Amino acid sequence: MDWSPGYREYAPPAPLARALSCLWVGVTPAAGAPPTRVLPDGCTDLIWRGGSGVSLAGPDTGPVLAPAAPGTVLAGVRFRPGAGGAVLGLPLSALLDERLDTGALRSGLPGGRGASLVTQVHGELAPEQAMHRLVRLTGQMVAGAPPDPLVAEAARQLSRPGARVGLVARQLGISERQLHRRCVAAVGYGPVLLRRVLRFRRVVSRIDAGGAPDDLAGLAAAAGYADQAHLTRESQDLAGLTPAALARLRRSPAAG
């Protein structure tokens, strides 16, 4: 892995691909950098920070500004939407918009999961060693409590443009109430908000891939919004910025 300044994502090991979206590293330059605007993605992250150890970032419903001191080194594993609840052993609704630091994480996860993470992935490790241990312990947790396959499939279907919660529930053979209950436990919030978040992530992905911010109407249509105004409202709600401002931010040299 590349531990030079910047943010990078890596594919997880194949046995963990059903549970993890990615592994990632983030290194703040010695000269410092502006706070990172973290956007909702339906995911939950275990994060190691050099010098302080491991913490847990629960699912977000809005933007979070994450400052980092100059020279900060982070290593993370990101659970796919719907995977975190079962693996961590608690309903993710308890972690909605929450951050558990090392002290809170120790006692915050059942079955000794938190204590094991804090003890073995401590802050004095070298970054590569911390990532190795984080992945190994995550693999053990996944083997003991795999993700809810129904919620994983629901998240996959809800990520499609034009997805409808009622139709997804019928295709999965359950009621909307059952789908809501299982999503709240596994994702942290219900399928309606999950659909909104996943739809907005399509916009973010297109911006990051170089999609033209000048054609916001086309961007809105491609992502599944009713119109440009609908996209603007959702962007202000989920990112705290208009789509054009978000595009400028993510394309700036300091972004990422």
Q: What are 206-239's pLDDT values in tens digits? A: 988 886 667 888 889 988 999 999 999 999 999 9
Q: Is 188's pLDDT higher than 50? A: yes
The CA-based dihedral angle spanning residues 187, 191, 196, 200, taken in that order and rounded to the nearest 10 degrees: 40
What pLDDT shows up at residue 214? Answer: 76
Q: Are residues 15 and 134 in the same domain?
A: yes
What mean pLDDT is predicted for residues 152-174? 95
How many structural domains compose the chain?
2
What pLDDT shows up at residue 255? Answer: 52
Indicate the SS3 state at residue 129.
helix
What pLDDT shows up at residue 68? Answer: 87
- Domain end: 94, 119, 144, which one? 144
What mean pLDDT is predicted for residues 248-254? 74
Range of the domain at 159: 149-251
Which candidate, 169, 165, 189, 187, places its Cα nearest to that of 178? 169
Using CA atoms, how far apart are residues 130 and 126, in angstroms rounded to an integer?
A: 6
Does the residue 1 lie in any domain?
A: no
What pLDDT shows up at residue 253? Answer: 53
CB 184 within 8 A of CB 27: no
Does the residue 256 lie in any domain?
A: no
Using CA atoms, how far apart are residues 142 and 190, in angstroms rounded to an integer?
A: 23
Instruction: Identify the band that residue 256 occupies on the pLDDT scale cut at 50, 70 and 90.
Output: very low
Using CA atoms, how far apart are residues 151 and 153, in angstroms rounded to an integer?
A: 5
Does the residue 226 lie in any domain?
A: yes
Does the residue 18 lie in any domain?
A: yes
Q: Are residues 174 and 139 in the same domain?
A: no
Using CA atoms, how far apart are residues 205 and 211, in angstroms rounded to an integer?
A: 9
Output the domain CATH number for residue 225: 1.10.10.60
Instruction: Identify the band that residue 250 occupies on the pLDDT scale cut at 50, 70 and 90.
Output: confident
Q: CB-based contacts of 177: which residues, under 8 Å, 6+ apart?
A: none
Q: Are residues 155 and 137 in the same domain?
A: no
Using CA atoms, how far apart are residues 255 and 249, in angstroms rounded to an integer?
A: 7
Using CA atoms, how far apart are residues 176 and 163, in angstroms rounded to an integer?
A: 14
Q: Is 252's pLDDT higher than 90? A: no
Does the residue 130 lie in any domain?
A: yes
**Looking at the whole model, is its pTM more than 0.85?**
yes
Q: Are residues 26 and 116 in the same domain?
A: yes
**Residue 238 φ/ψ region, left for φ over 0, alpha for ψ in the -120 to 50 degree band, beta for the rest:** alpha
Within the chain, how many helices (H) and strands (E) appear?
11, 8
Which candidate, 148, 150, 146, places its Cα nearest to that of 175? 150
Tell me the one-letter amino acid at 21: S
Q: Is 153's pLDDT higher than 60? A: yes
List pLDDT tens digits, range 16-72.
999 999 999 999 999 999 999 999 999 999 999 999 999 999 999 999 999 989 999
Using CA atoms, how far apart are residues 54 and 127, in angstroms rounded to an integer?
A: 12
Residue 253 or residue 24, greater confidence? 24
Q: Are residues 23 and 121 in the same domain?
A: yes
List pLDDT tens digits, range 98-146.
999 999 999 999 989 999 999 999 999 999 999 999 999 999 999 999 9
